[in-house]
Structure 1
Amino acid sequence: MANRNPVLLIPLITPLLDDGSIDGAQLSAIARDVVEQGAAGVVLFGTLGEAQSFSLTERKAALEALVASGCSPDGIMVGIGAAALTDVVELARHAIGQGCFRQLLLPPFFFKGISNEGLEDFIAQAIDRIGDDRLRLTLYDIPSVVSVSIERRIIRSLIDRYGPIIAGIKDSVPDAAHVRDSVTDFPELAVFVGNEIFLPEAIALGAAGAISGLGNIAPAQMARIAGSETKADDPVFQQMCTLYAAIARHPVVPAVKALAGWRFDLEKLATVRPPLKTFDLKAAPDLIEILQELHRR
């Protein structure tokens, strides 16, 4: 049965000050803007937010700034992904202390070829050490970035062990069949689509909506696509697919941040932290043209 109330969550870009530190005020302004444009909430420190480029201290301070600015903790999903188990636990407990119980967990990403048992142990020990039944965990499946897949039997085992603490999946696997199976195999979970081109089919099957990086640059349009049973031939969806394909030809995080800078008329939003390199839109003028056309729809 289709989910009749799918939503858009936006994994925020992380704006930087001239000295390379996080601009908490601008981060809060972007969060307020996208919610006003129709997003149901935001994700702090997902892949697009360059999470692994920031220290625990920086990540905690950014969340505190977001909450202090008036952003509702209920509308914030906090990325707690880290290579070290203890760092995951520290980030999770801090987020709970801020009233943010919805959290996004990336698999440990440094060691490659880890066993299914090792991955499940990592997640299970994180939950046990966090030690709070209010935790609502979304598992982030993005093997193209971290080289670690979260197999379905691990997800099912974790559901059996922890019940409602395992609340959802963000499926960022670039395979429509994989996304389809995530939705149909786990009807008890909120399955969010990471690759926006799969949204119409996934939402028709019952997906919870999208965690969409494109929401940073076209929030109203993405809210429309993610928040309803959009058809594949919808003109807004088709133009979004054109933008998706165009961005995919470039380093995605820097390109999206550059387009956000264009959207807000604030060039410094394009700045990324090393090892990423800031993207110059002059090298890809078609991106602005495609985004402008999406905004007109």
Structure 2
Amino acid sequence: MANRNPVLLVPLITPLLDDGSIDGTQLSAIAREVMEQGARGVVLFGTLGEGQSFSVTERKAALEALVASGCAPQAIMVGIGAAALPDVVELAKHALGLGCFRQLLLPPFFFKGISTEGLEDFIVQAIDSIDNDQLRLTLYDIPSVVSVSIERRVIRSLIDRYGPIIAGIKDSVPDAAHVRDSVTDFPELDVFVGNEIFLPEAIALGAAGAISGLGNIAPAQMARIASSETKADDPVFQQMCTLYAAIARYPVVPAVKALAGWRMKSDKLAVVRPPLRTFDLAAAPDLIEVLQELHRRQLPAVLRAEEARTGR
């Protein structure tokens, strides 16, 4: 049965040092801060984390730094997606060795138009090569980015074959009916919503919560929205929808990193790795205005704590 106590997981942005390498210290600080604000855990090297812009070596080192900083392995879901099967296996085994059993698998994304059989072969060979019954895999369905869909018959076949190893789905398909079907078709899985505007309906049906990029810029608000209390007419949720629509007008990953930098008073957090380009918030003052309004709609106690922490 899916999780009936929905939670927020934050797919962390990846902060960079001046030389373009990953800032493990700042990454750990962001993880700690969003969990203090209400997130139940974090996701490393998802889409918002620019996962495919970093090498296997870099990703392993960043995870090691995060765990060494005191972040509990059970609070980390590790993105192991890669175009090459051996890279997926290496990342997975490394994470398992650190006690990070929850992992997020992106479909292989270089070849387009692959068959459902080819996709299933890839996932089967990955799981068989990882060869660890403690693995808890969340399948990442985001065809708008990778141009590869995870069809329901593949998910069902994998569940039948591997049981609890197939633990969840992150549904980032921009279609409410698709998200609804993911929750209702796979009640045995933890289904996480990627597009936050679908959260109230999905949670009412039994979704596990959200893997929300907006958690980088409004963690307290997103933790509230990802709870079972939220209704579609909730003022905080409505303002979040306004922010969601505003960000969608811009390159999403650079815009979210820039807003995270604004929230945490660090312009360096806005820097992205090529081929992405760093986003200039001065060109989009509407984003800050909408985010400020979302912050103002917090519960009073949370708002006072945030204002005391940031001085905003």
TM-score of the aligned structures, taking structure 1 as reference length: 0.99
Distance 2:136 2:110 in 1: 25
Answering whether residue 27 of structure 2 is matched by residue 32 of structure 1, we say: no
Partner of 2:14: helix, strand, or coil? coil
Residue in 2 that maps onto 1:162: 162
1:212-261 CA distance string (max 9 Å, x none): 00000000000000022311110000000000000000000000000000
- One-letter code of the match for 2:202? A
Answering whether residue 114 of structure 2 is matched by residue 104 of structure 1, we say: no
Partner of 1:4: helix, strand, or coil? coil
Following superposition, the deviation at residue 16 of structure 1 comes to 0.2
Alignment map for 1:247-258 (pairs within 5 Å): 247-258=247-258
Residue in 1 that maps onto 2:288: 288
Distance 2:84 2:51 in 1: 14
Residue in 2 that maps onto 1:124: 124
Instruction: List runs of 5+ in structure 1 lacking aligned partners.
Output: none
Distance 1:207 1:128 in 2: 28
1:71-98 CA distance string (max 9 Å, x none): 0000000000000000000000000011
Answering whether residue 51 of structure 2 is matched by residue 51 of structure 1, we say: yes
Distance 1:283 1:112 in 2: 35
- One-letter code of the match for 2:82? A
Following superposition, the deviation at residue 3 of structure 1 comes to 5.0
Residue in 2 that maps onto 1:208: 208
Following superposition, the deviation at residue 184 of structure 1 comes to 0.1
Answering whether residue 178 of structure 2 is matched by residue 143 of structure 1, we say: no
Partner of 1:198: helix, strand, or coil? helix
Please give the root-mean-square deviation of Cα atoms over the aligned residues, in Å: 0.9
Residue in 2 that maps onto 1:91: 91
Structure 1 stretches of at least 4 aligned residues deviating more than 3 Å after TM superposition: 1-4
- One-letter code of the match for 1:88? V
TM-score of the aligned structures, taking structure 2 as reference length: 0.94
- One-letter code of the match for 1:31? A
1:109-130 CA distance string (max 9 Å, x none): 0000000000000000000000
Distance 2:194 2:91 in 1: 23
Contact 1:2 1:204 (8 Å CA) reproduced = no
Contact 1:16 1:271 (8 Å CA) reproduced = yes
Distance 1:11 1:94 in 2: 19
Distance 2:4 2:206 in 1: 8
Contact 1:191 1:208 (8 Å CA) reproduced = yes
Distance 2:194 2:174 in 1: 9
Distance 1:100 1:231 in 2: 33
Contact 1:203 1:229 (8 Å CA) reproduced = no
Distance 1:266 1:122 in 2: 40
Contact 1:52 1:82 (8 Å CA) reproduced = yes
Distance 1:4 1:64 in 2: 31
- One-letter code of the match for 2:118? G
Partner of 2:42: helix, strand, or coil? strand
Alignment map for 1:168-183 (pairs within 5 Å): 168-183=168-183
Distance 1:2 1:100 in 2: 20
Residue in 1 that maps onto 2:7: 7
Residue in 2 that maps onto 1:82: 82
Identity fraction in percent = 89
Q: How many residues align structurally?
A: 297
- One-letter code of the match for 1:121? D
1:36-69 CA distance string (max 9 Å, x none): 0000000000000000000000000000000000
Distance 2:4 2:99 in 1: 27
Residue in 1 that maps onto 2:264: 264
Distance change >3 Å, CA 238–CA 270, structure 1 → 2: same
Following superposition, the deviation at residue 2 of structure 1 comes to 8.6
Contact 2:37 2:220 (8 Å CA) reproduced = yes
Distance 1:19 1:3 in 2: 42
